[in-house]
Amino acid sequence: MASLFGSLLGSSAPRKASGKQLLERLASATQLDDRREALEEFKELSTTVPLRLIDRGGIGLLVSLTQDRDTQLMRDALETLVNLCDVAVPSAVAEDKPHASRVAGEHNVDVLLSNAAHLPAALAALEETDFYVRFNGVALLQRLLASAPERTHAALLAAPAAAGRVLRLLDDQREVQQNKPRRES
């Protein structure tokens, strides 16, 4: 039945939405399920295509989603930011055209660090109890430090709340956070 309607409309396969369309859909969605679906599709797109985003409606929108009350949206927004700030993602493109992935990742890091409010907002996730939210918060910090260590340090020092979150994370004695082998007595 779907193929009949698809042939009548001139297309048998659904078209994939572009990054711009997904971000517009995400920004305008009022229902939680619609927001989740648009963000999930955008996250998947960020793993296959090197994307360079602007602040307003792109990086800024994703950072604002890290403040959402819905844990899944927070987790997916942080994971998407990690993908966007990683100079080796998407890996398939990085193998063929490493320059495109590196340029997109460095551009996104620059956009994220250019707004003084973004890093503290994104690192607020380090206060959450959900493991994957915290994991992706740490992964984002790692990507930023790998790509622009001086600017990341400066942004942390300029935001006492964000610096405090990182220091509390370093003081966390749980093995998951410290990643140190246990000593046996």
Is residue 184 included in any domain, yes or no? no
Is residue 176 included in any domain, yes or no? no
Is residue 10 included in any domain, yes or no? no
Is residue 2 included in any domain, yes or no? no
Length of the chain: 185
Q: Summarize pLDDT for 101-142 with one digit per residue, the tens.
A: 889 999 999 999 999 999 999 989 888 888 899 899 999 999
Q: Summarize pLDDT for 84-102 with one digit per residue, the tens.
A: 999 887 766 656 666 888 8
| Cα gap 160→129, rounded to integer Å | 21
Is residue 74 included in any domain, yes or no? yes
What's the token pair of residue 164?
Answer: 């405090």
| Cα gap 146→115, rounded to integer Å | 19
Q: Summarize pLDDT for 52-71 with one digit per residue, the tens.
A: 888 888 999 999 999 999 99
Q: What is the pLDDT of residue 93?
A: 60
| Cα gap 114→55, rounded to integer Å | 9
CATH number for position 140: 1.25.10
Cβ–Cβ contacts within 10 Å for residue 64, how many? 14
184 pLDDT more than 70: no
Is residue 185 included in any domain, yes or no? no
Buried b (16+ CB within 10 A) or exposed e, 170-183: eeeeeeebeeeeee
Q: Summarize pLDDT for 156-170 with one digit per residue, the tens.
A: 889 888 888 888 877
Is residue 133 included in any domain, yes or no? yes
Report how many domains make up the chain. Answer: 1
Is residue 131 included in any domain, yes or no? yes
Contact 134, 128 (CB under 8 A): yes
Domain range for 32 is 16-170
Contact 19, 54 (CB under 8 A): no
Contact 171, 177 (CB under 8 A): no
